[in-house]
Structure 1
Amino acid sequence: MTILVTGAAGFIGFSVCRRLLANGQRVIGLDNLNTYYDPTLKTDRLAILQESANFSFLRIDLAQDDLMACIPAHERRSITNVLHFAAQAGVRHSMKVPAAFIDANIQGQLAVLELTRHLPALRHLVYASSSSVYGRNAALPFRETDRVDRPGSFYAVTKRTGELMAECHHHLHGLPVTGLRFFTVYGPWGRPDMAYYKFARAIFAGEPVTLYEGTDLARDFTHVDDVVEAVVQVMDHPPKDGAQLLNIGNNAPEPVTRLVSILERQLGRKANIRLTPRPSADVEYTWASIDRIRDLTGWQPSTDLESGLATFSQWFLDRMQRTV
C-alpha cells in the first residue's frame, strides 16, 4: 500500500505526510518547491520527511512535467490512494499573477486526474479545495449544498473549476473522488503568507499589524492537527456513488481581533495595530457547516483557538531563535 501526496513540502501536505509515516504507511511525495514564499521552509519540512525510510520524493511540476514518465511503472502499480494538495495559494496573489493559478490549480488538477486513470490499485482520490469557493455567499454557515457561482477572487474560480473537473472525471471514468473545502488552516509549520503568521511576525518584530476596518471580520480558524485527522479519516471513506465535497472547518468562527489578542499574550508583545479598508477579494466572514463529514466519518475538530495558537506560537518562537 503506497500513498501518493502532491504538495508534500507544503503546509498541509507535509503535515499529512508526517501522520501517514508515523502510521507506518509508505509515501511518495511530489512537490515543485516553488518560491511563492521562502523555500527554506519547504526544504526544512522536506528534510523531516526524508528522515523516514518509507518516504521517497520526486521534484515535479504538475503543470509542466509528464507524471507518467516521472513516476516509475512499478510505483504506479502500488499506489492505493492519491492525496492532491499541490496548488498555488493566495487570494490576493491571484489578482496579481492569475496565470500562475491556471497552471497550478487547473493544469495541475488535470494532470493528477489523468494520472489516476493509470493507477490500477487506486481506491480513492482526495484533493484540496477551499472555503473560498463560497465567495460572496451571505447565508451562514456555509454548506456544501450552497450555490458557489459568485466567486470573490480568481483563486476561488480556479478551485471551483478543480471541483467541476473532478466531478466530470468521476462521471467519465468512475473513480471515487473527494474534494475537501479547507477553512483557514493554521498551526506549526504554516504558510508565512497567511494572516496569523504575518501578525505573529509583525508583533515579534515590533512592526505594524494591518487589520481590516470593521468589527465583524471573522474566520473559521481550523488547526492543522484537526485537518490531518479529517484527511486520514476521509481517505478511508470513498463515496459509494459519485464525487463528494466536504467542508473541513472548526465550525466556530472567531473574530480576527481575538486572534491578535491571543498572539499578543503568547508572544509577550503588544501589537501596533493599523487599520485599512478591506480588499474586495477578502470576504468578511467564514463559517463551515461540518454536518456532512461528521455524518460520514464521525470527525469532529477538537482544538480551540487559544490552544491551537499556543502550538503555533511555541514553534514560531523556536524558529525565530534558530534563524536570528
Structure 2
Amino acid sequence: MQYHQLGKSDLRISEISYGCMSLGSDDADNARLVQQAIDGGVNFFDTADLYDHGQNEITLGKALEGKRQNVIIATKAGNQWRPDGSGWDWNPRREYILACVEESLRRLNTDYIDLYQLHGGTLEDPTDETISAFETLVQQGKIRYYGISSIRPNVIRTFVERSNIVSVMMQYSLLDRRPEESCFPLLEQHNIGVLVRGAVAKGLLVNKAPEPYLNYDAADVALAAAAVQRISTASRGPAATALRYVLQQSAVTTAVVGMRTAQQVQDALAAASATPLTATEMQQLQQVLPVNRYEQHR
C-alpha cells in the first residue's frame, strides 16, 4: 500500500481508503470488513453524520475500538435531518456545525476527528461563518484539519481562496472527468489533496450492465467499460484498472472506495499492488470518449 501526504496536513493516508457509507447494519460484519481493510494497509476511513441517521458513525466507532492511534477518521457535517425523518436540509451555519461535531465525536467514540468536512456547499452559504466554525474546532483540538466535499468548482474556488482546507472530496472516474478541467490544476497549485469517490462509476466500469451516466448514453458507457476490460490483465482486473486510472492523476491523494463484502475489499486492495497503467494505456482510456465538462456551478 502506498501512502500520500494529504495536502498541507501531516496526515499520510493510504491510496485506497474506506468509504464507510457502504457498510451495512451488522456491527460484527462491519468490524470484520474494517479489520480486513486495515490488514491490507488501509488507514483512512470516511463517514458522515448523514449516513444512516448517524448509525454509520456508531458502527465505525465500534469497528475501530482499540485501533484509534493507527487510523485516520474523516466525517462530514452540514446536512440536518428533519425531526420527522422525511429528509434533510442544508445547514452550514456556525452554531449547527459546532453542535454536530459533539455528536459525531460521541458516536465515533473518539475525542478528536482527523478530517472534518463540509458535506456540500452553495454560493449562497455564509461561507465565512462556516470557515469560522471549522477554525474554532481546530483551535479547540476537536478536529485536526478540515476540508469540503463538493463537485462545484465555484464553491471549491471560494474555499481555496478564503480558508485553510487541506482536501476536497469529489466524484471522479473515467466516466466523469470534469474535475480535470477546472479543479485539479487549482487544487494542485494550492497543495490541497483530492479524495476521489465514484472511481468505478457505480460499477458501470467494472461489472454492471451499461446505463446512461451523466452526459453519456448507455452505448458510451459500454465503450468505456470495454476499454477498461481490454487493458485489464489477470493480475490487474477491471476494478483495479479503473482505480489505477484515478490514482495515477497527480492531483489525487486517495480513492475512497465503498466496500460491502470481503470480495470487494479484496478487489480494492488489489488495486494498491496492481501494475501501474502505462502512458499508452492511460491514453487509450482517455481517448475512448469525448471528455465531459462542468456545465453548471462553474
TM-score range (shorter-chain normalised) is 0.3 to 0.5
The structure with higher relative contact order (CA 8 Å, sep 6+) is: 2
TM superposition score normalised by structure 1 = 0.35
TM superposition score normalised by structure 2 = 0.37
